[in-house]
Structure 1
């Protein structure tokens, strides 16, 4: 029997038949592998829209229309950025993360862990203000709109102008108190007035707008930045610089964030308050600084997002997580003096 098989294998016809049979079997095997592989994948159209994005619910609660394009083209130019602690300054070593860029050419002059997410505290209100001014631009709001104080707004803690149920104010007054004094109750009322009292819906808009602006490491928890069950809104220095750049589109807002002192409520109102700007860079008159916001994170320390014009050059920066506000302000002063020479 073995001799017979050897004789058949030696014949040309048998050898040809074996080669053809092996080829056919090989092709069938390849087709089978491809079929199994393709059918083991979930078609793209069946995947949730937010697949792979931590913290996002699988269903969008409200329709989202992308906001207007940003004024700061992306990406930023990091090619010549100085990284880490600047000039070995003590104050620089106290900074957890930060960035300084020149708006005109998108050039980053300095950065330290600029893409590291950090708690931002009351700095979160900048997104509330951006959405509000974009709504004014779109015609759905005006600065003269009158807004009545809700019971929920009076219960917001932290820095406030002590809104009372029964009072009503023009939107411009509420924005001024949020921009100058950092009033959390006003910020909350501004947000909820745009979503029929539902802050959660407004926070969705905040996070959608962050996505529009490619603020990929930013997550807002509320409209004003106060902690929620020990957690805070998070962002990065780079993301906040992009947010600040959008706010530069609105000179009126920039004017208010750069105001040293103003008043809330009418002159004859016994509840009238003096609003002093918490931003020491503005209140202290640091040359060229015209806003935007400061705030303390309970988790990491003192933060500031600032804008400054010197010798026709516009700088925007963020300095995050400094244990002492004096060191934060000293560093920004040194940083801007250094930037002028670059």
Structure 2
């Protein structure tokens, strides 16, 4: 049976590759875009600014676009060191029982976190999603609670998750705006693009073929994610991302009547954004800002950096220039904590303030004491002798 399913998966991959075509011809820039879906949002990733929206806060079933949040929590767990890409994940009987899109995991079968992520991002595996939920939180129920907690943290006020894979169930909903918010969060992890941009791949040492359900990854210039979803209740949904000329856009589509309409609608949104807008860079997060003196510290100076990034989204042809003024104190008294605010950078355009970013210490500096000075001198002496 398993061998038969693998053969079927390879046939499906070939069929998808040969049978799909999507039109991505650029639209003329317009404030009115023909979107063939019940709800839609276009958002710029670095600023979070909404460039276009239709029924953006309507609560609708998201189908497998739910897995955007599942991947957010997976990447967060990896980033925090709770799990690693090489960890082995064991599939439970419950995870193996999931219907819909799957990679046909068997109870007791093991895959690495890396392969599970591939199964989720590329093949939209419901079984892999539940297996990862159980691996991280012990149960899908606990993982779903973490999903809803993260949604609140991100300001996703139109959302309630009941499962981690998006299978239709009562009271499981989100909005196009909230999908853009969690997609924006997912894109903060650069490594996720290794999975979101896969076109074709395989699992089980090449025996199980995969084809990306997000066809824009193959057919839209600059596309780099994110996730599709479809059920009889949700219809056709999509969170699509693309990057050109240093600008990252997110287009979310909910309840499109057909699969091709969700892709064409997302393409229209992305075309509009790239044609009409540009990002002017201010500063990057953790960008060096020099150093200041430290009074009564173990070291005489402390390095400074920016606490966040700052970008300005502007209409094309109106970029102008951003002026920035650095305001920092001359010195600071030890002890100094890492991340301690010592000033800010104020950004302005045409004489008007448009934003600011805190300047913070890049390291901790202890307060000097006689004992610490003695230890320091001893270490220097020993190093010199060696």
User: Normalised by the size of structure 2, how large is the TM-score?
Assistant: 0.62
Structure 1 residue runs without a partner (length 5+): 1-84
Q: Secondary structure at the match of 2:128?
A: helix
Choose from 225, 242, 264 the match for 2:181. 242
Q: Which of 199, 216, 220 is 1:281 aligned to?
A: 216
Q: How does 1:134-213 map to 2 (within 5 A)?
A: 134-196=76-138, 198-213=139-154
Separation in 1 of the partners of 2:122 and 2:44?
A: 24
CA distance 1:321–1:86, change in 2 (3 Å)? farther
Residue in 1 that maps onto 2:239: 305
| Residue 87 (str. 1) matches residue 32 (str. 2) | yes
- Find the partner of 1:254 among 193, 214, 221: 193
Q: 2:40 aligns with which of 98, 102, 119?
A: 98
Match of 1:333 in 2: 267
- Cα RMSD of the aligned pairs, angstroms, is 1.6
**Cα 1:110–1:164 shift into 2, 3 Å:** same
> Is the 1:128–1:206 contact (alpha carbons within 8 Å) kept by the matching residues of 2?
yes
Cα deviation code 1:242-265 (max 9, x no counterpart): 101111111221221111011011
Contact 1:226/1:232, CA 8 A, preserved across alignment: no
- d(CA) in 2 for partners of 1:167 and 1:141? 18
1:45 aligned residue = none
Deviates more, 1:139-148 or 1:100-109: 100-109
Asked if the contact 1:103–1:315 (Cα under 8 Å) also holds between the matched residues in 2, the reply is yes
Which protein has the bigger helix share?
Answer: 1
* Aligned residue number for residue 10 of structure 1: none
1:219 is aligned to 2:160: yes
Of 49, 64, 68, which residue of structure 2 is paired with 1:122?
A: 64
Alpha-carbon separation, structure 1, partners of 2:259 and 2:42: 18
State the SS of the aligned residue for 2:146: helix
Query: What are the equivalent positions in structure 2 for 1:308-323 lying under 5 Å apart?
Result: 308-323=242-257
Rg larger in structure:
1
Cα deviation 1:47-101 (Å, max 9, x = unaligned): xxxxxxxxxxxxxxxxxxxxxxxxxxxxxxxxxxxxxx96363xx1x21111101
SS of the residue aligned with 2:191?
helix
Query: For 2:61 and 2:31, how far apart are their aligned partners in 1?
Result: 23
* Contact in 1 for aligned 2:98/2:127 (Cα 8 Å): yes
Closer, same or farther: CA 233–114 of 1 in aligned 2, 3 Å: same
Q: Alpha-carbon deviation of 1:311?
A: 2.0
Matches within 5 A, 1:46-61: none
Which structure 2 residue ranges, 5 or more long, are not aligned?
A: 1-29, 277-386
Count of residue pairs brought into register by the alignment: 247
- Residue-by-residue CA offset, 1:219-241 (whole Å, 9 max, x unaligned): 0010111123xx36211111111
TM-score, with structure 1 as normaliser: 0.69
CA shift, 1:297, in A, is 3.4
Deviating 4+ runs (over 2 angstroms): 85-89, 103-107
Q: Distance in 2 between matches of 1:203 and 1:105?
A: 28
Equivalents in 1 of 2:274, 2:66: separation in Å? Answer: 29
Q: How many Å apart are 1:148 and its aligned residue?
A: 1.5
Q: Which has the higher contact order (CA 8 A, sep 6+)?
A: 1
